[in-house]
Copies of this chain bind each other. A is one copy, B any other.
Amino acid sequence: MTPMEMALEEARAAASRGEVPIGAVVTDAHGAVLSRAGNRVEERRDPSAHAEMLALREAAVLRGAKHLTDATLWVTLEPCAMCAQGASLFRVARVVFAAYDPKGGGVEHGARVFAHSQCNHAPEVVGGVRESEAAELLRAFFAARR
């Protein structure tokens, strides 16, 4: 299973818990999985419990180091500004995301967190990996709630 497939699995598991279906995985330089997480905003009643933040924090705990300089963050949706700045603070090497998020995204849209001279660590960004599956998961989730 590729890291993005694993992130999609976390997204589906999040949906089954009544959470917006977003999943994230952190891998090391060799592609080994350090952590995986799904959205837990509703369960924890914590709007900051985004999949990315949970996965980044868990990877750093596992490593016993606050910086993940060789790591890649895989996530099923373009990170918001909070998670994008989080990825920068954890110093990840790369952010790979699936669906673009014109409304809430903070990487390619809105705040464009990595695009400012003030951003002192801008990870490499790859968007659109398994885009349609991730977008369909979100679409189906919100359609079922309407």
Residues of A within 8 A of B (CB): 41-42, 45-48, 53, 56-57, 60-61, 64-67, 80-86, 89-91, 102-106, 109-113, 116-120
Which residues in B have their C-beta under 8 angstroms from that of A104? 118, 120
| Interface SS, A side | loop
Distance from A61 Cβ to chain B, minimum over Cβ atoms (Å): 8
CA distance A90 to B103 in the complex (A): 17
Q: A46-B60, A113-B111 are in contact. Are A106 and B90 (CB under 8 A)?
A: no
Inter-chain CA distance A112–B60, complex, in Å, is 27
Assuming A57-B46, A60-B46, is B66 touching A113 (CB within 8 A)? Answer: no
Contact among B47, B56, B57 for A66, CB-based, below 8 A: B47
Indicate which residue in B41, B46, B81, B90 contacts A47 across the interface (CB closer than 8 Å): B90
The CB with the most chain B CB atoms within 10 A, among A104, A113, A117, is that of A113
When distances are taken between beta carbons in the complex, the residues of chain B under 8 Å from A86 are 47-48, 82
Chain B residues near A47: list those with CB within 8 A. Answer: 60, 66-67, 86, 89-91
Interface CB pairs A-B, < 8 A, 24? A42-B66, A45-B61, A47-B60, A47-B89, A47-B90, A48-B86, A48-B89, A80-B85, A80-B89, A81-B81, A81-B85, A81-B106, A81-B113, A82-B83, A103-B118, A103-B120, A104-B120, A105-B118, A106-B111, A110-B117, A110-B119, A111-B112, A111-B113, A111-B116
